[in-house]
């Protein structure tokens, strides 16, 4: 993955965003490990990537007929949602993924304002509900 990211031109928006994701995950991992934050990007993010797999592991356990251990996984529900406002504020789009009932939804709302500076994206604001 590292060689793929570094081999791409910096003007390629897709790979630039992949690199920005790695930068964010590096900061999260370094902070978790109580390291001094540095401007470099790490590609050894196994613990953070494993956290991201939690939803997929839920499905794999179901597929493999594994019985969940309530002591190991005390929280039964996981879900996420996305709300996106159209650029002209005339439309709103919703998405929701629940791995249990809607009653488990955490109701955390996050607004991200992206300004990466390479070119004008269609939308720079993303609203997430978790």
pLDDT, one tens digit per residue, over 58-96 is 666 676 777 766 666 555 556 677 888 888 888 888 887
Assigned domain for 118 exists: yes
Does residue 59 lie in a domain region? no
Which residues make beta-bridge pairs with 84? 93
Q: Is residue 64 domain-resident?
A: no
In a domain, 66, yes or no: no
Burial (CB < 10 A; 0-12, 13-18, 19+), residue 26, is: buried
Question: Do the Cβ atoms of 66 and 43 come closer than 8 Å?
Answer: no
Residue 111 structural domain = 74-130
Chain segment 16-43, per-residue pLDDT in tens: 877 887 787 778 778 878 888 777 666 6
44 shares its domain with 91 = no
**Domain-embedded: residue 62:** no
Residue with more model confidence, 126 or 3: 3
Number of separate domains in the chain: 2
pTM over cut 0.75: no
Contact 61, 68 (CB under 8 A): yes
Q: Are 40 and 88 members of one domain?
A: no
Q: What angle do CA 58, 60, 66 make, to 5 degrees?
A: 85
The answer as to whether 68 is a domain residue is no
Give the range among 6-15, 24-33, 39-48 with minimum mean pLDDT: 39-48
Is 11 a domain residue?
yes
């Amino acid at each position: 993955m590292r060689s793929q990211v570094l081999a791409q031109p910096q003007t390629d928006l897709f790979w630039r965003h992949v690199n920005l994701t790695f930068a964010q995950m590096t900061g999260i991992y370094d902070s978790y490990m109580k390291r001094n934050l540095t401007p470099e990007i790490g590609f050894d993010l196994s613990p953070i990537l494993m956290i991201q797999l939690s939803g997929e592991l839920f499905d794999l356990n179901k597929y493999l007929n594994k019985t969940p251990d309530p002591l190991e996984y005390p929280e039964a529900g996981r879900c996420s949602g996305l709300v996106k406002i159209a650029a002209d504020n005339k439309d709103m789009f919703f998405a929701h993924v629940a791995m249990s009932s809607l009653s488990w939804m955490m109701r955390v709302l996050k607004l991200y304002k992206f300004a990466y500076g390479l070119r004008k994206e269609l939308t720079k604001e993303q609203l997430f509900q978790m």
